[in-house]
Structure 1
Amino acid sequence: MTENNNPNPFNDASPEEVETAMAANASDELERLKAELEELKAKSSELADQYLRAKAEAENVRRRSEEDVAKARKFGIEGFAESLLPVIDSLDAALAIQNATPEQLREGSDATLRQLTSALERNKVLAINPAAGEKFDPHYHQAISMVPAEQPANTVVNVLQKGYVIADRILRPALVTVAQG
């Protein structure tokens, strides 16, 4: 007696039945593969569309950023220029006075200087004007000379020219004389 460990569904089938069954299986497998192919094509198309949209959005963001940077460069000084207009107006008004007295000129100059200082401060341009006796700081001060003085060594004796800083960046150091040791 022979045991059949590998049962074959086609054992008792005729060759025509086997061929028909195999053709049906092949047809079913072909249909399944076609459906899977269509599904993958649809998914691929969807991903390609998403990629193109993301790429276009990234390009739009890049273009808008470049435009914003160009505008900032072009018009970044607009606020600063606006704050200087009253200073120009004051100078124009001063020059329009034909017979100004020295007192009027001094008063007008003082007022105009206050306007200019205020405009600079609003735009974060601050004066560096160390007091006599303040410790010399090479980051903010430039020593022009060292002089004998009745104060500690390496301290500011006199300010020859104010320095200026804009938002923690030195525009110009203060020119100072420094006490000798």
Structure 2
Amino acid sequence: MAANAADELARLQAELAELKAKSAELADQYLRAKAEAENTRRRAEEEVAKARKFGIEGFAESLLPVCDSLDAALAIDNATAEQLREGTDATLRQLLSALERNKVVVVHPEPGAKFDPHQHQAISVVPSEQEANTIVSVLQKGYLIFDRVLRPALVTVAGPK
């Protein structure tokens, strides 16, 4: 009997040692996984902070030629009206190009186009010969960025006949 008890005790001690080793291994794996998760969270927070801080960098960079053109225009002392007009047109083209490169799109509906409350803001409803709920005139262009309205186009809309 004593031999059986000694064998059982030895088996149980071996099993206990094995379970302690496995427990230590799992605790180590847990601590490593926890540290990795913390490092991943910290790196993600840093990336988000960088994106917030420098996310507009590309947009700002694309506007620099517009600033350069305006500076050059202001440096001319005796510009003629024609020169000013040409420079202004060129600068506007640069600005629109910079906006387009950054996915900002102009909303400028044609007269007669259907009024879209998602992209247009009706300033007034006017009597007109054209179909009701169509655009009569655009008072101010609107702008979209990736299909999201930055500013709706301000329009007058044809009223019912």
TM-score (structure 2 length as normaliser): 0.97
AA paired with 2:53? K
Pair 1:121-2:100 in alignment: yes
Q: Distance in 2 between matches of 1:142 and 1:25?
A: 92
Q: Report the aligned-residue RMSD.
A: 0.7
Distance in 2 of aligned mates of 1:161 and 1:41? 75
Alignment map for 1:57-96 (pairs within 5 Å) = 57-96=36-75
Match of 1:166 in 2: 145
Match of 1:145 in 2: 124
Aligned-pair CA distance for 1:24: 1.4
Indicate the larger mover: 63-72 or 140-149: 140-149
Query: For the residues of structure 1 that align with 2:149 and 2:136, how far apart are their CA atoms?
Result: 21
CA distance in 2, matches of 1:81, 1:162: 22
Amino acid at match of 1:69: V
Match of 2:10 among 31, 51, 57: 31
Q: What fraction of aligned residue pairs are identical, expressed as a percent?
A: 81
Match of 1:154 among 116, 133, 143: 133
Query: Which of 34, 48, 57 lines up with 2:27 in the alignment?
Result: 48
Structure 2 unaligned spans of 5+? none
Provide Cα deviations, 1:105-143, integer angstroms capped at 9, x if missing partner. 000000000000000111111111000000011111111
Runs of 4+ in 1 over 4 A off after TM superposition: none
- Cα deviation 1:17-39 (Å, max 9, x = unaligned): xxxxx111111111111111111
SS of 2:12's partner is: helix
Is the radius of gyration larger for structure 1 or structure 2?
1
In structure 1, the residue matched to 2:90 is: 111
- Alignment partner, residue 178 of structure 1: 157
Q: TM-score, normalised by structure 1?
A: 0.87
| Ranges in structure 1 where 5+ consecutive residues have no aligned partner | 1-21
Give, in angstroms, the shift of residue 150 of structure 1: 2.2
